[in-house]
Amino acid sequence: MKFTVTRNSLLNELNLVQGVIEKKNTVPILANILMEVSGDRLDITATDIDVTIRCGCPVAVAEEGTTTIAARRFFDFVRLLDDDAEIELTLLDNNWVELRSGKSRTKFVAIPKDDFPVIPDAAPTTAVLPGNLLQSMIQRTMFAITQEESRYSLNGSLLVLQPGAVHMVATDGHRLALVSKEMQVAGITDKEVRALIPRKALVELVKMVGDDDVMVEFGTDENHLFFSTGSKRMVARVMAGQFPNYEMVIPKENDKLVVVGTKAFGDGIRRAAIMSDEKLKAIKLSFQTGELELSSNSADSGEAREIVPIEFEGEKIEIGFNSTYLLDFVSACGTESVSIAIKNSDTQGLLRPVGEGVVDYRYVIMPMKL
Q: How confident is the model at residue 50 (pLDDT cuts 50, 70, 90)?
A: very high
Residue 370 lies in a domain: no
Residue 299 lies in a domain: yes
> Per DSSP, what are the bridge partners of residue 37?
42, 65
Q: How confident is the model at residue 212 (pLDDT cuts 50, 70, 90)?
A: confident
How many domains does the structure of the chain reveal?
3
pLDDT of residue 112: 92
**Cα torsion for 227, 231, 232, 238, to the nearest 10°?**
30
Residue pair 286/258 in contact (Cβ under 8 Å)? The answer is no
Decide if pLDDT at 25 tops 80. Answer: no
d(CA 3, CA 352): 53
How many residues belong to the chain? Answer: 370
Give the closest residue to 128 by CA, choosing from 22, 213, 227: 227
From 218, 248, 278, the end of a domain falls on 248
Q: How confident is the model at residue 215 (pLDDT cuts 50, 70, 90)?
A: very high
Decide if pLDDT at 24 tops 80. Answer: no
301 vs 130 pLDDT, higher one: 130
- CATH number, position 313: 3.10.150.10
d(CA 89, CA 105): 10
pLDDT of residue 27: 87
d(CA 107, CA 88): 12
CA triplet 67, 70, 76: central angle to 5 degrees? 125
CA triplet 143, 149, 154: central angle to 5 degrees? 55
Q: Report the share of the chain in percent with pLDDT over 90.
A: 87
Decide if pLDDT at 309 tops 90. Answer: yes
Residues 6+ apart with CB under 8 A from 80: none
Residue 26 lies in a domain: yes
Residue pair 156/250 in contact (Cβ under 8 Å)? The answer is no
d(CA 301, CA 294): 16
Q: How confident is the model at residue 278 (pLDDT cuts 50, 70, 90)?
A: confident
pLDDT of residue 122: 87
Residue 159 lies in a domain: yes
Say yes or no: 151 and 242 in one domain.
yes
Q: What does pLDDT average to over the chain? A: 94
Say yes or no: 165 and 222 in one domain.
yes
Decide if pLDDT at 74 tops 90. Answer: yes
Q: How confident is the model at residue 23 (pLDDT cuts 50, 70, 90)?
A: confident
Say yes or no: 135 and 240 in one domain.
yes
From 82, 115, 148, the end of a domain falls on 115
From 59, 84, 115, the end of a domain falls on 115
pLDDT of residue 152: 78
Give the pairing type, strands 2-6 and 60-63.
Answer: antiparallel
pLDDT of residue 51: 96
Decide if pLDDT at 29 tops 80. Answer: yes
User: What number of other Cβ atoms are within 10 A of residue 369's Cβ?
Assistant: 8
| Residue pLDDT, tens place only, 342-355 | 999 999 999 999 98
Q: What residues make up the domain containing 290?
A: 256-365
Residue pair 194/245 in contact (Cβ under 8 Å)? The answer is no
| Residue pLDDT, tens place only, 128-165 | 999 999 999 999 999 999 988 777 789 999 999 999 99
pLDDT of residue 240: 81
Say yes or no: 160 and 71 in one domain.
no
